Amino acid sequence: MTLDRLAYNALLAFFSFPGAALGQKAQPAASSATHTVTLDVVVQTKSGSLVPDLSQQDFTVLDNRAVRPIESFAVVTPAQEPVHVIIFMDAVNTDFNKMAYVRGEVDKFLRAREGQLADPTAVAILEDKGPEMAERYSTNGNEVADSLDHFTIGLREIRRDSSWGASDRLQISLNAFHQLLDYAATVPGRKIVLWISPGWPLLSGPRIYLDSKQQQAIFNDIVSISAQMRKADVTLYNINPLGSAESLLQADFYRTFLQGVSKPQQVQIGDLGVQVLAVHSGGLALESNSDVTGMIAQCLADVHSWYAISFDSPVTGEPNEYHNIAVRVGEKGLVVRTRDGYYANPQAITPR
Residue 72 sits in the same domain as residue 85: no
Tell whether 203 is covered by a domain.
yes
In this prediction, residue 246 carries a pLDDT of: 74
Residue 271 forms part of a structural domain: yes
For residues 173 and 68, state if they share a domain: no
| Secondary structure (DSSP) of 74-140 | EEE-TTTS-EEEEEEEESSSS-HHHHHHHHHHHHHHHHGGGGEEEEEEEEEEEETTEEEE-S--EEE
pTM: 0.90
Note whether 69 and 148 are same-domain residues.
Answer: no
Rounded distance between C-alpha atoms, residue 186 and residue 180, angstroms: 10
Among candidates 285, 279, 309, 311, which has minimal Cα distance to 298? 285
Does residue 103 belong to any structural domain of this protein?
Answer: yes
Whole-angstrom Cα distance, residue 232 to residue 181? Answer: 7
Q: What average pLDDT does the segment 297-303 reach?
A: 96
Q: pLDDT (tens digit, 9 = 90+) per residue, 157-177? A: 555 555 458 889 999 999 999
One domain, residues 333 and 224: no
User: Has residue 4 been placed in a domain?
Assistant: no
Q: Which pLDDT band, with edges at 50, 70 and 90, does 6 fall under?
A: very low
φ and ψ at residue 92, rounded to 5 degrees? -80, -40
CATH number at residue 63: 2.60.40
CA–CA gap between residue 234 and residue 181 (Å, rounded): 8
Cα distance between residue 257 and residue 268, in whole Å? 8
Q: How many other β-carbons are positioned within 10 Å of the β-carbon of residue 239?
A: 28
Residues 326 and 216 in one domain: no
Instruction: Tell whether 294 and 323 lie within a shared domain.
Output: no
Long-range pairs for 29-33: beta carbons < 8 A, 24 or more residues apart: 29/317, 29/319, 29/345, 29/347, 30/315, 30/316, 30/317, 30/344, 30/345, 32/315, 33/314, 33/315
Q: Is residue 195 part of a domain?
A: yes
pLDDT in tens, 55-104: 999 999 999 999 999 999 999 998 898 899 999 999 999 988 899 999 99
Same domain, 242 and 96: yes
| Statement to judge: residues 85 and 218 lie in one domain | yes
Domain assignment present for 12 = no
Percent composition of the chain: helix, strand, coil (DSSP 3-state, to 5): 35, 25, 35
Residue 8 has pLDDT above 60, yes or no: no
Considering the domain boundaries, does residue 16 fall inside one?
no
Which segment of 161-170, 177-186, 255-264, 325-334 scores lowest on mean pLDDT?
161-170
Q: What percent of the chain has pLDDT over 90?
A: 67
User: Over 255-314, what HEC string results?
Assistant: HHHCCCCCCHHHCCHHHHCHHHHHHHCCCCEECCCCCHHHHHHHHHHHHHCEEEEEEEEE
Residue 15 lies in a domain: no
Q: Which domain holds residue 195?
A: 78-304
CB 294 within 8 A of CB 243: no
Residues 99, 164: one domain?
A: yes
Say whether both 165 and 247 belong to one domain.
yes
pLDDT in tens, 115-132: 999 999 999 999 988 899
pLDDT digit string (tens) for 16-50? 544 444 333 434 443 446 689 999 999 999 999 99
- Output the pLDDT for position 338: 98
Q: Are residues 290 and 309 in the same domain?
A: no
Return the H-helix or E-strand segment holding 219.
helix 212-232
Q: Residue 243, by phi and psi: left (phi above 0), alpha (psi -120 to 50) or beta?
A: left
The answer to whether residues 229 and 252 belong to one domain is: yes
Per the structure, the count of domains in the chain is 2
